[in-house]
Structure 1
Amino acid sequence: MMRLTFPRVVMVLTGALLLTYAFAIAPTTTSERRSGAATAEAKAPRPRGPFPPAEKTFIGVMTDKGPHDFTPVDSFTAAAKRSPQVMLFSEGWASATFDRTLFDRIRDRGMMPMLGWEPWDYRLDERARQQKLTAQEIDRIRSDQPSYRLSRIAGGEFDSYVRSWAEGIKSLGYPVAIRFAHEMNGYWYPWCELVNGNEPGDYVKAWRHVQDVFRAAGATNVAWVWSPNVRYTDLTPAISTYYPGDDYVDWVGVTGYYGKYDFAPYLSFDEVFKKTITEIRTFSKKPMVITETGASDHIGRKAEWIKDAFQTLPRYPFIIGLIWFEVNKELDWRIVSSPAVSTAFADAVAAPRYQVTWSPDVFLRTKD
């Protein structure tokens, strides 16, 4: 017969407690942990999308105030009777540093930020305009900026600056678009290969280098938007010569306006865009965005042009967005320019095709 001593009693009680924990308490705790993990997983935000959905086209806006002042956006929204889903704003390399608040202000209004990222000193252009120089003189001054020559960008001289933006955009945690060095086929910007001491092939090298810096920084929440201007003449180089390749482009864009032309009193949406769109589609099948457009009313046909434009868009199912230039600059491109124009725009974007919602948890559609 085993004599019960105090040490043995302690051992027995300890063993009993351990068995009780193993068979009763521990399974409950583990179950609670698993349940809690499952709940946390269920609550974790999952990407919604794609943006925009198939057979939909988003409406965007660009103003001269950008996210610094939303008054023009509010006026645009009231006239359109709906909120835009994308806001394009510009920042120039000479003075702009990454500022998260600009992106968050746009996000907080339910719009995706699209950064027009411009490697130049835009202040030279502003000063030239203030001096009331001719258009030719302004173009010469703004395009002659050797400090921002494409070879310097491709050569890494701006890498620390580019990296600071890459790290900042990565930290946003939601998708944005970047339209880098747009209208590269025009002679009015210093990143055109026809001016500023640039050489053929320099644009593609610069584009790829900038994007490689972003990739190295892990900034993968970006849709890269390559955006030439419409071609008005065949005398300029083929647009394909500036294309960085599908591996470096998510959306292709195109800029074009119905304004005041010397050679035609009126140009329809197709007359402005079709030739260039057709050319681009020969070398890229990426989704397309009309990255800038607007219409003037110099002969009283602005409302007609808007109606025609939005009736024409569905013929191009690969066009996933249109950004309106809501600015009174040189000509009044705004939809608030008259009640008739506002009504035409509101009626057009009321169609189901343009009923789109953006939110920070979407993923961006990068295929047709």
Structure 2
Amino acid sequence: MTGADGELGGGGEGGDVLRLTRPRVLMMVIAALLLAYALALAPVVTGRGGEGAASRAPTTAETGAVVPAGAENPPLQLAAELFPPAGKAFIGVMTDKGPYDFAAVDRFAAAARREPQVMLFGVGWESGTFDRVLFDRIKDRGMLPMLGWEPWDYQVDQAARKQKKLTVRQIDRVRSTQPRYRLSRIVDGEFDSYLRSWAEGVKSLGYPVAIRFAHEMNGDWYPWGEKANGNRPGEYVEAWRHVHDLFERAGATNVIWVWSPNARWSKTTGHLAELYPGDDYVDWVGTTGYYGTGAWSGYSPFDAIFGPTIAEIRTFSRRPLVVTETGASNAGGHKARWIRETFRALPKHRDVIGLIWFEVDKEMDWRIASSPAAATAFAQAVAAPRYDFRWSPDLVPRTDLDG
């Protein structure tokens, strides 16, 4: 009922207890707001197999478990932000000097009118000791570092290239014949001390690092290919798992493992499943291919170069896919056209989460900064909202196509 003073209350004894005075109304409003806030911050669990999915833990009544006093309500956990976000794809870059000199990265970003979110750089095992500075330089520029980690002595390749009389295939045979780096020696643990030094170094970074280990393993031009260097079938997978497991034992769990074959160039270069370590050992799958060379010297659109390889990979892996190296020469004057058509095709491949451009003048000029037409085509393509986001060390790598 309503009292003479306009406040709600009960008659008779005890009526003062039920009256809603202004201070009591204020307290009830505050309590209601706190309850709404608590409900809005429901716990969300993120994980490798289902990032961003809401999860409810079973109650003690359901499990019959005895819970210590004060442990009934676990702390709230907010969903982690993923890289790349849902519906987005990143742009990456690889240059000739890598993190030693960012001049080429600056030219690429100016031509693209967008800062890349990933930077790929290569390190060979013969002389490549862990150097934190290289990773921090990339991270401080707002890019995820991706290490192309190569078990070989790259100086053998450089020496072969200086022999002007050698054909391309002869150079391939020279560079790929390095008995010291046979896969069996990795599997047998001969490089474990070296591997541990890198695992400890990567762990100490404290932020995500992608490692593209022993790429283009389906070819015969590197000493880690099963078709070269006295290697035997099955040894590539064994070597990959050995390296991966050593990092895991060292606690270097901040690694995004990237498996990246060369795009199929003939009907006889398939059988990628035999070289795949398994989804438990790989976070991102990838592929490498270029327009304007080899089997793709004539005009070949994105799907002609990458389509068969992507389709084959999807028969044995559900990991997100990255085009880990690509570029276009100006063969036939079609460089700008190839760039435009590639970026029109990419959104159709919903499983492709990124593309890394080879911004190098090597054998052919693959750079987008090489011509105004190529730069304009690239800039217009990556101006789309799909590529408009930033990487930061706090983001969790997307490792699930359904996440």
* TM-score between both structures, scaled by the size of structure 1: 0.86
Give the whole-Å Cα distance in 1 for the aligned partners of 2:332 and 2:269: 29
Partner of 2:102: 70
1:45-194 aligned at under 5 Å gives the runs 48-132=80-164, 133-194=166-227
Give the whole-Å Cα distance in 2 for the aligned partners of 1:106 and 1:263: 32
The answer to whether residue 262 in structure 2 is matched with residue 197 in structure 1 is: no
On the 8 A contact 1:191/1:203 being kept in 2, the answer is: yes
Give the whole-Å Cα distance in 1 for the aligned partners of 2:240 and 2:213: 8
- 3-state DSSP class of the match of 2:353? strand
On the 8 A contact 1:307/1:345 being kept in 2, the answer is: yes
Give the whole-Å Cα distance in 1 for the aligned partners of 2:382 and 2:206: 30
On the 8 A contact 2:265/2:295 being kept in 1, the answer is: no
Give the whole-Å Cα distance in 2 for the aligned partners of 1:187 and 1:93: 19
- Offset at 1:131? 2.0
One-letter code aligned to 1:267: S
One-letter code aligned to 1:357: R
- Offset at 1:264? 5.7
Give the whole-Å Cα distance in 1 for the aligned partners of 2:122 and 2:233: 26
Give the whole-Å Cα distance in 1 for the aligned partners of 2:270 and 2:288: 17
Give the whole-Å Cα distance in 2 for the aligned partners of 1:196 and 1:49: 43
One-letter code aligned to 2:107: S
Question: C-alpha deviations, 1:125-166, integer Å up to 9, x for none?
Answer: 011112222211210111000000001001111000000000
Partner of 2:345: 312
One-letter code aligned to 1:197: G
The answer to whether residue 330 in structure 2 is matched with residue 297 in structure 1 is: yes
Question: C-alpha deviations, 1:291-320, integer Å up to 9, x for none?
Answer: 000000021000000000011001011100
Give the whole-Å Cα distance in 1 for the aligned partners of 2:122 and 2:204: 20
Aligned-residue CA RMSD in angstroms? Answer: 1.4
Give the whole-Å Cα distance in 1 for the aligned partners of 2:242 and 2:297: 41
- Offset at 1:173? 0.4
Give the whole-Å Cα distance in 1 for the aligned partners of 2:327 and 2:293: 12
On the 8 A contact 1:47/1:362 being kept in 2, the answer is: no
**Structure 1 residues 263, 335: CA separation in 2 closer, same or farther (over 3 Å shift)?**
closer
Number of residue pairs aligned between Structure 1 and Structure 2:
324
The answer to whether residue 358 in structure 2 is matched with residue 333 in structure 1 is: no
The answer to whether residue 400 in structure 2 is matched with residue 352 in structure 1 is: no
Gaps of 5+ in 2: 1-77
1:253-332 aligned at under 5 Å gives the runs 253-261=286-294, 265-332=298-365
From the two aligned structures, give the one with the greater helix fraction.
1
The answer to whether residue 282 in structure 2 is matched with residue 242 in structure 1 is: no
On the 8 A contact 1:117/1:180 being kept in 2, the answer is: yes
- Identical counterparts, % of pairs: 67
One-letter code aligned to 1:201: G
**Segments ≥4 residues shifted beyond 4 Å:** 261-264
- 3-state DSSP class of the match of 1:247? coil
Give the whole-Å Cα distance in 2 for the aligned partners of 1:284 and 1:239: 11
- Offset at 1:260? 3.4
- 3-state DSSP class of the match of 2:290? coil
Give the whole-Å Cα distance in 2 for the aligned partners of 1:296 and 1:312: 19
The answer to whether residue 248 in structure 2 is matched with residue 215 in structure 1 is: yes
Give the whole-Å Cα distance in 2 for the aligned partners of 1:261 and 1:188: 14
Give the whole-Å Cα distance in 1 for the aligned partners of 2:324 and 2:297: 23
- Offset at 1:208? 0.1
On the 8 A contact 2:81/2:396 being kept in 1, the answer is: yes
Partner of 1:12: none
On the 8 A contact 1:47/1:361 being kept in 2, the answer is: no
* TM-score between both structures, scaled by the size of structure 2: 0.79
